[in-house]
Amino acid sequence: MADRNGYIGRAPGDSSVVVARQTFSPTGIQTDFTFASGYVVGYLDLYLNGARLIEGQDFTATDGSVVGLTTYAQNGDVLELVAYKAFNATNVQSAGGDFSVGGNLSVVGYTTANTYYGDGSNLTGITAGYWEKTDAGINTTSSVGIGTTNPTALLEVRPGSSGEGILLKTTANVYGTTKFDSNRTSESNFLGTIDYAWNGTTVAQIIGVAGDDTVNKDNAKIAFYTASAGSPTHRATIDSSGRLLLGTQSSSVQMTQLLQGNSGSVASYGTLYLARGVNNPSDSQFLGEINFSDNSHDSSASIRAIRDGGTWTSTSSQPSALIFETTSDGQSNPIERLRINRSGWVGIGTNAPLHTDSALDIEGSTPVLRISSTGNYGSLTFADAGDDHSVGGIVYDHSVDALMLYGYNNTERLRIGSDGQIGLGGANYGSTGQVLTSNGASSAPTWQDASGGDSLDVTASLFI
């Protein structure tokens, strides 16, 4: 209990309160003695062989450490020093040993210590701007620096070596989370960003972007930005439907992946590259493959590119072929159906279109090439290279069920009608009894009477 002008316990005028005691036994003549615990000037008693000495007359004690005798002590004497004092909380400046307070300790000003013991769970009222313990946790309104005394953000961590940084670690069966939480109001507002900087210049970003449901605020997309020189530019987005959009941030098309633009220009064409990881693939090795399947991911159809023989020299000689595979009903593995080889020849039902003059090679037990038309005509036409006009062909006219042969200048030369009749230069089937007659190498054949004239002569007898 504090009373009498702040003194706790006995006042200086009361009997002494001992705080330290030390005994000396000199082995020779000695006048100065050092009190190891120290003393407060005016609060020290000295006893020589049991007799109390008088301060100022028999001894001096003026520096808080050394005591000097007026008359020396010698071998066989016993000198006892007793330090005491009354305690006034308003005058305490230091304590050499442990200091315990049983109740509350109030401090006006700063509290400085090399180490605080305990968990600090009851520390309150710390000056704003510094660490403060509240029921909600420990907080501060100042910036925090780890590895720096001059943080430029609310939290700045400066690693001292490669691999240092922020670690979320637990030995329990739980996981850590880094979370961005903001209450944005409009679609496409940023919800949080991860920025990558090169010597202070931002060169890449991963950004969480608000979706279009601004009422429920429950959808979003992730955008990826990189910089070729200067400010980062949008490169890819994973939208709220899980679609991967490259070169654009939105699309109404139903798909899984959209490629728009390329590294040369965002306004240019989209490009997808599949490449083998070597520059010298061996013959028939895959260069790339696109597979189609259900969610078992067991391929049911594929398009693949392979090396197709020849001599492979990267960038200058790259013979290749495209192979198309499908799976039959009741089967589980796709097989080759069509191939375009290194010469551009197409093989259907064969993986080796052989004839050097055949652009299309169809093989099978009963191979059929079918041309089906929803209009009046189906045709197989022929043209000169580089000319978009046909010069001849085979045409079937569904309106009259006739098969027609077109020759030079795309003019009809021969027709087979629905009843097997033969027409020349169109539906010119001749007359009954006429025969097809050659007019030589320089003229087309014509229908003529069997006698070679314009009429048919018949010799017969008529019996009645």
Please, which residues have CB within 8 angstroms of residue 106's CB and are 6 or more apart in sequence?
Answer: none
Same-domain pairing of 410 and 345 = no
User: Residue 41's closest CA among 8, 72, 85?
Assistant: 85
Q: How far apart are CA 242 and CA 295, in angstroms?
A: 16
**Domain total for the chain?**
5
Question: Is residue 306 in a domain?
Answer: yes
Q: Which amino acid is at 80?
A: E
Could you say which of 333, 362, 391 is where a domain stops?
362
Q: What is the DSSP string of 318-380?
A: --EEEEEEE--TT-SS-EEEEEE-TTS-EEES-S----TT-SEEE-SSS-------SSSEEEE
Q: How far apart are CA 131 and CA 138, in angstroms?
A: 6
Could you say which of 362, 390, 412 is where a domain stops?
362
142's tokens: 């100042």
Q: How far apart are CA 360 and CA 127, in angstroms?
A: 88
How many CB atoms are closer than 10 A to CB 258?
17
Could you say which of 68, 91, 114 is where a domain stops?
91
Report which DSSP code applies to 123: -
Report which DSSP code applies to 314: T
Same-domain pairing of 421 and 453 = no
222's tokens: 């992730």
Helix (H) or strand (E) holding 44: strand 44-48
Question: Is residue 127 in a domain?
Answer: no
- The length of the chain is 464
Question: Is residue 266 in a domain?
Answer: no
Q: How far apart are CA 338 and CA 305, in angstroms?
A: 12
Same-domain pairing of 230 and 241 = yes
pLDDT tens, position by position, 30-84:
999 999 888 888 888 899 998 999 999 999 999 989 999 999 999 999 999 988 7
Residue 458 confidence (pLDDT):
36
Let me know: does 372 contact 378? Beta carbons within 8 Å: yes
pLDDT tens, position by position, 136-155:
777 888 889 999 989 999 99
Same-domain pairing of 404 and 455 = no
Residue 283 confidence (pLDDT):
96
Same-domain pairing of 18 and 85 = yes
Number of H helices, E strands in the chain: 0, 33
Same-domain pairing of 77 and 21 = yes
Residue 230 confidence (pLDDT):
85
Same-domain pairing of 201 and 246 = yes
3-state secondary structure of 452: coil
202's tokens: 């931002």
Same-domain pairing of 417 and 436 = no
- Predicted TM-score (pTM) of the model is 0.57
Question: Is residue 171 in a domain?
Answer: no
Q: What residues make up the domain containing 404?
A: 380-427
Which residue, chain included where needed, has tokens 């979370």?
179
Question: Is residue 274 in a domain?
Answer: no
Question: Is residue 145 in a domain?
Answer: no
Residue 92 confidence (pLDDT):
61
Angle (CA) 442-448-452 rounded to 5° is: 95
Q: How far apart are CA 100 and CA 131, in angstroms?
A: 24
3-state secondary structure of 13: coil
Q: How far apart are CA 233 and CA 251, in angstroms?
A: 18
Taking only the tens of pLDDT, the chain with its 464 residues reads 444 444 444 444 444 456 788 999 999 999 999 998 888 888 888 999 989 999 999 999 999 899 999 999 999 999 999 887 655 555 566 665 666 766 777 777 666 666 666 555 565 555 555 677 677 777 888 889 999 989 999 999 999 999 999 999 999 999 999 999 999 999 999 999 999 999 999 999 999 999 999 999 999 999 999 999 889 999 999 999 999 998 888 888 888 888 888 888 888 999 999 999 999 999 999 999 999 999 899 999 999 999 999 999 999 999 999 999 999 999 999 999 999 999 999 999 988 887 666 788 888 888 888 888 888 889 988 888 777 777 889 999 998 999 999 887 888 889 998 888 888 888 888 888 788 888 888 888 888 887 755 543 333 333 32
Residue 456 confidence (pLDDT):
39
Let me know: does 308 contact 320? Beta carbons within 8 Å: yes
Question: Is residue 61 in a domain?
Answer: yes
User: Residue 304's closest CA among 345, 258, 340, 358?
Assistant: 340
Question: Is residue 121 in a domain?
Answer: no
Same-domain pairing of 440 and 423 = no
Please, which residues have CB within 8 angstroms of residue 360's CB and are 6 or more apart in sequence?
Answer: 345, 346, 348, 353
